[in-house]
């Protein structure tokens, strides 16, 4: 049995010792010595929405609007090589590991211009860090690929054959958004994979497609296999309409991914100072029983000039923007639904030199230690090392 001594936890006050055995958390007990906690111990971070193939790629220009960013990204896709993409994706994945992220879902462009180059580059990057980071690849029909077209359906099938585990698209950018959403749902059903759709990334309530997504999910029996990313339009609907819709989303087990930085940055952009926040209502969604997650979305690309793949930073921005106060709810948003460390959990854990979650969010300190299945992961993404003697962690003979 190995013991991590004197840690603070998210869900209770005091100092505790965590006992690990094999790849699991075996016991949580009051600290054997009376010293204040040296670390905050929490579940490892999970980024449920990234675009690793574009990360760090953009010049210092600022997008004039979401549409302007889409046009810039499209121009660049023509020239990006597999090596370019692998290099960007590897950088984002290694930075994620250094921040304490154990899992990333990345939307990876497929279209007639990109073909399978982005899928190839991202899968190659994922294999470089496979011992430290779980990577879920979404075959993402970009603005240049309408799911209604047979060519896009063939690209979905090819990407899934190569290792993508979900499919996605942006129906709003297609000629007939409602038809594109139906085609995406049909493709997910036919291929037997879950879908994660960029939907309603705007504030124009009459154009909302999210009701159609809920109907289409239930009609096809896809409950539990659908994620909606963005859904900013929920912030522009009446509270009663939102409540009814959130109840239906919870019933259909549709996951809602909110992207605090990008929604703040791009919504209502280009028309003077913003008057709205542009985030789907996180607190109401949690109350309705919807599974809500945060993601970084774009990092240093045409859509967003900042970020570094740090989900703690995303949690900090999201806590402010969405008024999420409860530490266990914040943990759930940035740790893949895990609200606390529990006995019996797989020991995918993060140690932060901080005294509480608020302290960690306030300072976002370096020097974090990521554990995967009970082993310390090197900050550079190397194979897990034995926990003994690492980073002040203490081994105890049993
Ligand atoms: Zn996105």
CA–centroid distance, residue 379 to ligand 1 (Å):
26
Give the mean pLDDT of 218-224. Answer: 98
Question: Do residues 187 and 156 make contact, with C-beta atoms less than 8 angstroms apart?
Answer: yes
The per-residue DSSP string of 306-358 comes to: ---S-HHHHHHHHHHHHT---HHHHHHHHTTT--S--TTSB--EEEESSSSHH
- Nearest Cα neighbor of 35 from 394, 293, 336 is 394
Question: Do residues 201 and 66 make contact, with C-beta atoms less than 8 angstroms apart?
Answer: yes
CA–centroid distance, residue 286 to ligand 1 (Å):
21
User: 133: Cβ–Cβ under 8 A, 6 or more apart, which residues?
Assistant: 93, 96, 97, 101, 102, 103, 104, 126, 381
Sheet with 134-141, strands from edge to edge, namely 45-50, 101-110, 134-141, 166-169, 195-199, 226-230, 255-258, 292-294
CA–centroid distance, residue 259 to ligand 1 (Å):
8
CA–centroid distance, residue 297 to ligand 1 (Å):
5
Where is average pLDDT lowest: 67-71, 124-128, 390-394? 390-394
Give the mean pLDDT of 200-214. Answer: 96
CA–centroid distance, residue 293 to ligand 1 (Å):
13
Distance CA 219, CA 205 (A): 23
CA–centroid distance, residue 107 to ligand 1 (Å):
7
Count of other CB atoms within 10 angstroms of residue 61: 11
- Nearest Cα neighbor of 51 from 154, 147, 155, 168 is 168
Q: What percent of the chain has pLDDT over 70?
A: 94
Summarize pLDDT for 129-159 with one digit per residue, the tens.
Answer: 999 999 999 999 988 899 999 999 999 999 9
CA–centroid distance, residue 204 to ligand 1 (Å):
19
Q: What percent of the chain has pLDDT over 90?
A: 83
Tokens of 383: 């194979």
CA–centroid distance, residue 372 to ligand 1 (Å):
27
CA–centroid distance, residue 198 to ligand 1 (Å):
6
pLDDT at 275: 87
Residue 380 binned pLDDT confidence (cut-offs 50, 70, 90): very low
CA–centroid distance, residue 208 to ligand 1 (Å):
18
CA–centroid distance, residue 96 to ligand 1 (Å):
17
CA–centroid distance, residue 27 to ligand 1 (Å):
39
CA–centroid distance, residue 230 to ligand 1 (Å):
8
Give the mean pLDDT of 109-129. Answer: 96
pLDDT at 393: 61
Tokens of 254: 């549709």
Summarize pLDDT for 232-271 with one digit per residue, the tens.
Answer: 999 999 999 999 999 999 999 999 999 999 999 999 888 8
User: 86: Cβ–Cβ under 8 A, 6 or more apart, which residues?
Assistant: 120, 121, 122, 124, 125
CA–centroid distance, residue 89 to ligand 1 (Å):
15
pLDDT at 381: 38
Question: Do residues 170 and 143 make contact, with C-beta atoms less than 8 angstroms apart?
Answer: yes
Summarize pLDDT for 270-327 with one digit per residue, the tens.
Answer: 888 988 899 999 999 999 999 999 999 999 998 899 999 999 999 999 999 999 999 9
CA–centroid distance, residue 50 to ligand 1 (Å):
6
pLDDT at 31: 95
Q: Can you list the domains of the chain with their CATH numbers?
A: 2-43+342-395 (2.30.40.10), 45-334 (3.20.20.140)
CA–centroid distance, residue 37 to ligand 1 (Å):
37
CA–centroid distance, residue 374 to ligand 1 (Å):
32
Residue 74 binned pLDDT confidence (cut-offs 50, 70, 90): confident
CA–centroid distance, residue 104 to ligand 1 (Å):
13
CA–centroid distance, residue 113 to ligand 1 (Å):
19
Backbone angles phi, psi at 77, to 5 degrees: -60, -25
CA–centroid distance, residue 298 to ligand 1 (Å):
6
User: 217: Cβ–Cβ under 8 A, 6 or more apart, which residues?
Assistant: 185, 223, 225, 226, 252, 254
Tokens of 349: 């854990």
SS3 365: coil
- Nearest Cα neighbor of 56 from 299, 262, 380 is 299
CA–centroid distance, residue 273 to ligand 1 (Å):
23
Distance CA 110, CA 118 (A): 7
CA–centroid distance, residue 105 to ligand 1 (Å):
10
Mean pLDDT of the residues in the chain = 92
CA angle 215, 212, 334 (to 5 degrees): 90
CA–centroid distance, residue 178 to ligand 1 (Å):
19
pLDDT at 72: 81
CA–centroid distance, residue 8 to ligand 1 (Å):
34
pLDDT at 378: 66
End-to-end CA distance of the chain: 5
């Amino acid at each position: 049995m190995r013991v991590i001594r004197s840690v603070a936890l998210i869900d209770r006050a005091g100092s505790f010792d965590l006992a690990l055995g094999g790849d699991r958390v075996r016991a949580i007990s009051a600290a054997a010595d009376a010293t204040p906690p040296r670390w905050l111990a929490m579940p490892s971070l999970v980024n449920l929405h990234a675009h690793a193939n574009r990360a760090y790629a953009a010049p210092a220009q600022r997008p004039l609007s979401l549409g302007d960013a889409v046009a810039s990204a499209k121009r660049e896709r023509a020239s990006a090589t597999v090596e370019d993409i692998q290099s960007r994706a590897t950088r984002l994945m290694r930075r994620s590991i250094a921040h304490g992220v154990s899992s990333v879902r990345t939307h990876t462009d497929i279209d007639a211009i990109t073909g399978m180059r982005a899928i190839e580059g991202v899968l190659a990057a994922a294999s470089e860090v496979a011992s430290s980071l779980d990577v879920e690849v979404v075959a993402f029909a970009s603005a240049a690929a309408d799911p209604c077209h047979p060519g896009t359906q063939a690209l979905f099938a090819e990407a899934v054959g190569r290792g993508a585990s979900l499919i996605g698209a942006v129906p709003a950018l297609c000629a007939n958004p409602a038809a594109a959403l139906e085609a995406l749902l049909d493709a997910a059903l036919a291929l037997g994979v879950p879908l994660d759709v960029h939907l309603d990334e705007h504030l124009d309530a009459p154009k909302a497609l999210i009701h159609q997504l809920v109907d289409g999910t239930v009609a096809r029996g896809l409950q539990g296999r659908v994620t909606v990313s963005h859904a900013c339009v929920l912030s522009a609907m009446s509270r009663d309409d939102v409540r009814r819709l959130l109840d239906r989303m919870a019933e259909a087990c549709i996951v809602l991914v909110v992207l605090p930085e990008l929604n703040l940055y791009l919504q209502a952009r280009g028309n003077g100072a913003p008057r709205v926040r542009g985030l789907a209502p996180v607190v109401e969604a949690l109350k309705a029983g919807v599974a809500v997650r945060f993601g970084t979305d774009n990092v240093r690309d045409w859509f967003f000039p900042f970020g570094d793949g740090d989900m703690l930073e995303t949690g900090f921005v999201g806590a402010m923007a969405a008024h999420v106060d409860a530490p266990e709810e914040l943990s759930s948003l940035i740790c893949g639904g895990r609200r606390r460390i529990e006995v019996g959990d797989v020991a995918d854990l993060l140690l932060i030199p901080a005294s509480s979650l608020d302290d960690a969010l306030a300072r976002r300190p370096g020097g974090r230690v990521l554990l995967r299945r009970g082993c310390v992961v090197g900050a550079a993404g190397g194979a897990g090392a034995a926990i003994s003697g690492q980073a002040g962690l203490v081994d105890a003979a049993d």
